[in-house]
Amino acid sequence: MTQTKCPDCGSPTKVVDDEEIYGVSYGRKAVVCSRFPGCNTYVGCHKDSVEPLGTLADRKTREMRRAAHNALDSHWRTPQQRRKAYALLSEHFGVPDFHIGTSNAEECEELCSLLATPKFRRSIAKALRKN
């Protein structure tokens, strides 16, 4: 579901071609604050859709989401392992359906710190080995 108000400034949002953000088209849409680029809050959309990949985010949150994805994505190789990794994170964060794309900067920072600990890395490796 598309957010209709910017979480940072409260302005309405709009759907745009990704070229408006990146200066080049990747053939996707994005949801942006109507004050963009003055308010630098946006989220990309799924391919061939206007369904957002997550929630609107400012620069810091987008950077932390990329860091969290980089930290997590090295732990799984198959879609089944990805589902298991996210299920483990759902349990850790106490939410039914954890997604990095809906996490705030602090949650992403916590995830990066968590994935840096040997204990949690072992627990992910063990969970991914189970059938």
Where does residue 82 rank: exposed (0-12), middle (13-18), buried (19+ CB within 10 A)?
middle
Looking at the chain, list the stretches that DSSP marks H as alpha helix, in order from N- to C-terminal side: 19-22, 59-73, 79-93, 105-115, 118-129
The predicted model scores a pTM of 0.88
pLDDT in tens, the chain (131 residues): 567 899 999 999 999 999 999 999 999 999 999 999 999 999 999 999 999 999 999 999 999 999 999 999 988 888 988 998 899 899 989 999 999 999 999 999 999 999 999 988 888 888 777 65
Q: How many CA atoms lie within 13 A of 113 on its CB side?
A: 6
Q: CA 113, CA 115: separation in Å to the nearest integer?
A: 5
